[in-house]
Amino acid sequence: MPARAPRTWSEVRTDRLLLRRPIQADAQFVLALHSDPRAVLHNPADALGDLADAHARMAAWSSHWKHGLGYWIVQETALGRPIGVCGVKAVDLHDRPSWNLLYRFLPEVWGRGYAGEAARASVEAAAQVDASRPVVARIRPANSASSRVAEAVGLVRRPDLDLDGEDGRDEVWSTATT
């Protein structure tokens, strides 16, 4: 389900989702998502403890938009409610400019294909904003569901790019094959 051409990257629509730039009113949702132990199981350093933490996280996300893209709040259009966070931010991976792909959804919507749909839109947006930057996803080896999403949106496993993360080893998946 490809993303429709947006007027602005602050908002992208897919068949079932609205991906939009976060606003301050999203802080309670960001806290709920990042305080659910199931949602941060593979990245415990991403857990949030209170609303102040959520506001700080959103401020960090806001700074990424200076590169043309950032992390979106993902809403299910049928119900108009937030269900996750997805998008890309500009990073340097092994001294190479890249887009870091993030997708995290409420556990109650897992298995419905939303992560793949939102991630695909993110990869397409990244290619339109700066195709010279490969899209990369850092995934814990035990997170097979995340690996399946990365593969489904065209990323390939790149063991040569693996990294030691804050709380464990990350496998790197990338749109670049060399």
Instruction: Answer yes or no: is 149 within a domain.
Output: no
Amino acid at 33: L
Provide the domain count of the chain.
1
Q: What gap in Å lies between CA 72 and CA 61, rounded to an integer?
A: 9
Mean per-residue pLDDT over the chain, rounded: 92
- List beta partners, residue 138: 172
Instruction: Answer yes or no: is 61 within a domain.
Output: yes
pLDDT in tens, 44-102: 999 999 999 999 999 999 999 989 999 999 999 998 999 999 999 999 999 999 999 99
Instruction: Answer yes or no: is 2 within a domain.
Output: no
CATH number at residue 57: 3.40.630.30
**Residue 71 lies in domain:** 11-132
Closest to 119 in 3D by CA, of 99, 142, 91: 99
